[in-house]
Amino acid sequence: MICREHDGAIVMVKQHDHGKLAGELAIWFKEEHVPEEGRRDEVLWAVAEHDRGWIDLDETPFWNDAEHAPYSFIDFPVVPKLTFYKRGLDEIEARTPYGALLCSLHFERLIKISGLDYPELTLYQEHEEERRSRIHRELEVSKPIGEDELYYDARLLEFCDDLSLYLALNEPGSPKSEEHPWWREGFSGSEDFSFTSGRTITVEWKDKSTLVLDPFPFKKTVEVAFMLKRVQQSEIAKRGIAPAYRDTPEEECRIVLTALNES
């Protein structure tokens, strides 16, 4: 789950819903592969499905006694997290080996950023390194991977994942001082896209339904939507996290993404 607190409630977004939102963002992204023989369809599918390993886990949230809050994707126990990472990657590879390569690299980056050090992590990383090497060898025979292609696709997944997380982790309309700290200075890596001319993409809320991005990364103004639940903490205290979550109705959050000179 992606979780944040707001006005006496815990706002909760399923990881796979966040992934589908990332896929929607990727569809409208300004840059596309230069080669006509690129893997665009595979990449878009992989971006949308990159967190599919969480589908079953997110049906029922787990309570973290130490933090007095639901476990989120950030603090979820490492061993089951890695198990479901692998399961998701296996499912992605069955559909698109290149997509699995891309997502495996993405998770490797997240693990390194986390700074965690567990024996289980070492085993997972060794397994994924073998997966990536095997996919490279197999695709070298049928459809070789260009290094520029892989680098661009990795940046695309990283940015769309980050922006989707930003939308889930911030209350629409929040001032900069109340934003989640990860992106207050912009989206790391976005300066690598050619259209930014080396600038980092930054965001700021115009109002409770409009987010301004500069430089603007999409082909046009985009309206996106995702589902969330606002689970009242009073209900959690009375009934427990599982029934409180189950009986809270979903609501749709709709956000317009626009450029600075159009806002």
For 105-135, how does the pLDDT look when each residue is reduced to its tens digit (9 = 90+)? 999 988 887 767 778 888 999 999 999 999 9
Nearest-5° angle of CA 118, CA 120, CA 125? 100
The model's pLDDT over 158-217, given as tens digits with 9 standing for 90+, comes to 999 999 999 999 999 999 999 999 999 999 999 999 999 999 999 999 999 999 999 999
Nearest CA-CA partner of 229 in 67, 114, 45, 70 = 70
Nearest CA-CA partner of 86 in 57, 48, 43, 52 = 52
d(CA 56, CA 88): 11
Mean pLDDT along residues 224-234 = 98
Nearest CA-CA partner of 164 in 6, 37, 8, 13 = 13
d(CA 240, CA 243): 6
* Average predicted confidence (pLDDT) for the chain: 92
pTM: 0.94
pLDDT at 33 over 60: no
The model's pLDDT over 59-101, given as tens digits with 9 standing for 90+, comes to 999 999 988 899 998 888 888 889 999 999 999 999 999 999 9
Instruction: Specify the pLDDT at position 34.
Output: 47
Instruction: Specify the pLDDT at position 156.
Output: 95
